[in-house]
């Protein structure tokens, strides 16, 4: 009777350990991934630009990012570059929130005149995995240029369809408190999940 009871207790403990391990693996098995490169075309009333955004996830909850955009209208050329880091919160496998902070440089060239302004950027983004190959996102941010003491608030939404294991088509719309809506169409190269 004692050996039967200890065998039953041992099997119960083994089953509980397997169940706990299974729950832990499913909780971290298919998370959204943050190592990718975006290439986009931006279009709006005041903008007709190309843009690139890169992200490298170096820890489960942290990433580095960088962006570059170029816009030219007549003799006016605007180049914007940003570099920073972000924290990734994972309330669930299908819902992530990132909080990013970084530095930005805006260079404006008009004929023989050029100027360069430095500043800080901060943004919060929600990323929602709503179907196996489909996700949506919403964002809000702020961009402050130090020299001209200018602060711009921004917000946007996007959707992404993963048509291949390492490539997605994306479409988004964004705006600021100073500009009209800007449409973005592009591709993401990387993995949706780790």
> What's the confidence (pLDDT) of residue 157?
97
pLDDT in tens, 142-152: 999 998 889 99
* CA dist list (Å): 179 to 10, 46, 79, 141, 182: 66, 8, 17, 14, 8
> What's the confidence (pLDDT) of residue 20?
45
pLDDT in tens, 27-43: 445 788 999 999 999 99
Check pLDDT > 90 for residue 10.
Answer: no
For tokens 């832990």, the residue is 24
DSSP string covering 18-76: HHHHHHHHHHHSS-B---EEEEEEEEESS-EEEEEEEEEEEETTEEEEEEEEEEEETTE
Mean pLDDT of the region 88-106: 95
pLDDT band at 47 (very low <50, low <70, confident <90, very high): confident
Check pLDDT > 80 for residue 13.
Answer: no
pLDDT band at 194 (very low <50, low <70, confident <90, very high): confident
Check pLDDT > 80 for residue 115.
Answer: yes
> What's the confidence (pLDDT) of residue 181?
92
> What's the confidence (pLDDT) of residue 40?
97
> What's the confidence (pLDDT) of residue 160?
97
- What's the DSSP call for residue 193? B
Other CB atoms within a 10 A radius of the CB of residue 37 amount to 14
User: CA–CA separation, 63 vs 56, rounded Å?
Assistant: 5
> What's the confidence (pLDDT) of residue 5?
54
Check pLDDT > 60 for residue 15.
Answer: no
User: CA–CA separation, 124 vs 160, rounded Å?
Assistant: 18
Beta bridge partners of 120: 103, 144
pLDDT band at 161 (very low <50, low <70, confident <90, very high): very high
């Amino acid at each position: 009777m004692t050996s039967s009871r200890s065998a039953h207790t041992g099997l119960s403990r083994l089953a509980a350990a397997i169940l706990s391990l299974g729950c832990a693996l499913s909780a971290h098995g298919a998370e959204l991934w943050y190592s990718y490169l975006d290439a986009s075309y931006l279009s709006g009333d005041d903008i007709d630009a190309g843009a690139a955004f890169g992200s490298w996830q170096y820890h489960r909850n942290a990433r580095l990012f960088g962006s570059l955009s170029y816009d030219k209208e007549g003799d006016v050329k605007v180049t914007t570059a940003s570099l920073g880091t972000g924290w990734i919160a994972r309330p669930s496998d299908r819902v992530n929130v990132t909080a990013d902070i970084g530095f930005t440089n805006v260079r404006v060239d008009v004929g023989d005149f050029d100027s360069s302004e430095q500043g800080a950027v901060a943004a919060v983004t929600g990323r929602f995995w709503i179907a196996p190959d489909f996700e949506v996102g919403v964002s809000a941010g702020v961009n402050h240029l130090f020299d001209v003491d200018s602060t711009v608030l921004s917000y946007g939404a996007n959707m992404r369809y993963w048509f291949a294991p390492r490539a997605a088509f994306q479409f988004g719309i964004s705006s600021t408190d100073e500009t009209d809506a800007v449409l973005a169409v592009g591709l993401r190269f990387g993995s949706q999940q780790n």
